[in-house]
Amino acid sequence: MFLDRDGVINRAVIRDGIPRPPASLADLEILPSVPEALSALRAHGYSLVVVSNQPDVARGTCSREVVDSINQRLKQQLQLDAILTCFHDNADRCECRKPKPGLLLQAAHQFDIDLPLSFMVGDRQCDLEAGKRAGCRTFFVDCGYPDEPRGASDFRVASLMQATEIILVHSSLP
C-alpha cells in the first residue's frame, strides 16, 4: 500500500488556493480515521509505505529538519513501514520525484512488494501517474482541490478510510 502524505495521511494546508505541506509540527494534523484505516490494512497484511514529494526543501522555503520531524511524528503515531521522501524540485529531473515511479520502485525492492498487487492512494495527478507507471492500481482521494487530476484513477474516494473499505471488501480485486 503506497500512500501520499499531505492530503491522504495528514491535512494539507491551503495557501493561496494551493494545497501545501504543513510548515511545522504545530501545523501537522492527521486526518480523521487514518489510524483506523492503517490498522485495518496492516491487519490484512499490507505493507504501508508513504511516498512523498517535498520540493519546498529544494526551493529553500522549508528545511529538511522540519520535513524529517513531521515524518518522524507520523511514524511514531501511525503504523507505517516507511516514509520515502523526494526533496527535489522539477528542475532536478530526479527519478524519485512523482510522477516518476522511483520511490515506489525503491520501496518494492526494499520490502519485496509485488507492484501489480499494490495500490497507490493519492490526492494529486502526480501520485496517480507514479502509481500507474509502477504498475499499481490507484485511488484518487478527492479533497476538492481546484486542479483536479486529469488522468483516470481506478477508484475515486473521499478518504483513505473509504479506499480501505473498498480494498478490504473486495480483497480479491483482480
Give the active site residues. 4, 6
Q: Residue 107: helix, strand or coil by DSSP?
A: helix
Q: Are strands 137-141 and 155-157 parallel, antiparallel or unpaired?
A: parallel
Residue by residue, DSSP assigns 29-85 as -BPTTHHHHHHHHHHTT---EEEEE-THHHHTSS-HHHHHHHHHHHHHHS--SEEEE
Give the H/E segment covering residue 128.
helix 125-134
The residues that bridge with 49 in the sheet, in sequence order, are 2, 82
Q: Is 17 left (phi over 0), alpha (psi -120 to 50) or beta?
A: left
Cβ neighbors of 125 (< 8 A, separation 6 or more) are 99, 147, 149, 150, 151
